[in-house]
Structure formats: structure tokens, C-alpha cells
Amino acid sequence: MEFDNSDILAIDLAHTELEIWYSKNLKNVKRKIKDYLLTTCNHCCYCLRPFIGEFRMVIDIEHILPSSIFRELAFDFSNLSLSCKRCNMKIKKDNIDFLDGNLLKITEYLKSKEHLSRYIDKCERGMTVNKLNRVIYSSNNYKFIHPLLDDYSQHLEYISIQLNNKNFSIYNPKSKKGIYTKDFFELSEFQVRDLNIIQFLSDPDNLSNYNIPSIL
């Protein structure tokens, strides 16, 4: 996707505002971004639950690195995905606990409202844009499964079963990142809730009858 001249003007105006992503000038830009992302992703990038049948308003454009801190990445598709409101607004928000290593250090610096470009200028070791990008886009600097840098299935097995028109979700961690992701996004909550709403599986002893693995 490419931004046209009117989009670029709107983005430039947004950069002059304190809360860049909430600029009134971005209505059409956000619509275009969501339209494009929906052609590449049909599920929440964190919990993997599908958007099928969901209204657009409950699907969020997700900034993996928060736009409130990484302003220069607010419209960069290498930092954008789609998420459900639960994972985005209720849990992740502007939390940066999932960052690690040098990226965490950079983020702590940027929380003072400095810009990435100024960080590059001030870095004592002559960090270039390419070097900075290697830090930002290194999977090792993220404790959770990065939607664009990691293969979700290598870290966390997601099983979705439909019984009596109800979805049953299971998350089985396969790595340290998988465990962190499951805990960070409280994915066990889905499993407990789904068990409760599937009436004929309300008794845990019945799980074996349907070849559903233990969630504990």
C-alpha cells in the first residue's frame, strides 16, 4: 500500500500534534490502513481468534511498538497489524514490559518524548539508522511472539474447535516466548470461558470423550 499526497499531508499534520494517532486529520488514512491490513490478516495478531463475522469497529489497528512512544513508526507497516480490542485496549495498551535488551533501553529513553531521529543523533556509539533498525526488528528484543518477526506456530500452538456452533480455544506453549505470550495476553481466560459456555462439556471429565487435550 502507498499513501497518496492527501494522506501524506494528513500524516504530516498529525506529526505536529501531541497524540499523533488520535489526530482528527487521520480518518481516511486509518480507513485505508485497516482496509489494507484486512486483506493480509483475518485474525487478532496476539490471540489468533478470527475476525469472521465481526464489525470493523471491534477490530483495532495495532501498533506493536506504541505510537505514543515510537511516533516515527506510527504509519510504518513493519510496526502495524490488527488485533481485537481485548488484546489491544484491555491488556497491551501502551505497556512495554514485553520489550527486552537494547530495545528496552531505547524505549525508556524515548518515553521522555524524544524522537527516534534525535536518539540517533545523540547515540554515543555512532548508531546509524540501519543499526537502529536491527535493534527494533530483532525478534530477540521481544519477550512475546512478535506478529511480524516470529512464526507463531513455533512458539505457541493454537487449537480452535467448533462444537455446537461455539468455538473452543486451546493454547499450548512450545517455547519461552509462547509461555510469556500466553501469560501476557491472559489467553487461559479464553479457555476457561469457552469451557463454561459449551454446556455439554461443562464437566471436565468429559473432555477425554472429545479428544480435547488438557488445558492445565
Mean pLDDT of 160-171: 76
The residue with greater pLDDT, 112 or 57, is 57
Return the pLDDT at 193: 67
Question: Cβ(92)–Cβ(125) under 8 Å?
Answer: no
Mean pLDDT of 59-72: 93
Q: Which of 142, 2, 7 is nearest to 77 (CA)?
A: 2
**Domain edge (last residue) among 75, 92, 109:** 92
Do 190 and 124 fall into the same domain?
no
Residue 147 within any structural domain of the chain: no
Do 137 and 82 fall into the same domain?
no
Residue 197 within any structural domain of the chain: yes
Could you give the angle at the alpha carbon of 33 between the alpha carbons of 48 and 44, nearest 5°? 5
Do 111 and 157 fall into the same domain?
no
Do 9 and 71 fall into the same domain?
yes
The CB-side HSE value for 167 (13 A sphere, CA atoms) comes to 11
pLDDT beyond 80 at 170: yes
What pTM does this model have? 0.82
Do 135 and 163 fall into the same domain?
no
Q: Which of 90, 76, 58, 59 is nearest to 20 (CA)?
A: 76
Return the pLDDT at 215: 42
Do 81 and 51 fall into the same domain?
yes
Mean pLDDT of 137-149: 96
pLDDT beyond 50 at 203: yes
Grid coordinates representing 67 are: 505510537
Residue 215 within any structural domain of the chain: no
**Domain edge (last residue) among 92, 112, 132:** 92
- Give Dmax (Cα) for the chain: 63
Return the pLDDT at 173: 96
Question: Cβ(82)–Cβ(37) under 8 Å?
Answer: yes
Q: What SS3 class is residue 83?
A: strand
Return the pLDDT at 209: 54
Taking only the tens place, the pLDDT of each residue in 91-101 is 999 899 999 98
Q: How far apart, in whole angstroms, are the C-alpha atoms of residue 89 and residue 38?
A: 19
Do 87 and 51 fall into the same domain?
yes
pLDDT beyond 90 at 166: no
Residue 129 within any structural domain of the chain: yes
Strand 166-173 versus strand 59-63 pairing type? unpaired
Total number of residues shown for the chain: 216
86: which DSSP letter? I
| Domain with 124 in it | 101-141
Ramachandran region, residue 198 (left: φ > 0; alpha: ψ -120 to 50; beta: rest): beta
User: How many domains does the chain fold into?
Assistant: 3
Taking only the tens place, the pLDDT of each residue in 1-45 is 899 999 999 999 999 998 999 999 999 999 999 999 999 999 999
Grid coordinates representing 34 are: 485497516
Which parts of the chain are beta strand (E)? 59-63, 80-84, 156-163, 166-173
Whole-number percent of the chain with pLDDT over 70? 78
Do 85 and 49 fall into the same domain?
yes
Contacts of 156 (CB under 8 A, 6+ apart): 145, 171, 172, 173, 174, 175, 177, 178, 181, 182
Do 46 and 84 fall into the same domain?
yes
Residue 216 within any structural domain of the chain: no
Q: Which amino acid is at 108?
A: E
Residue 166 within any structural domain of the chain: yes
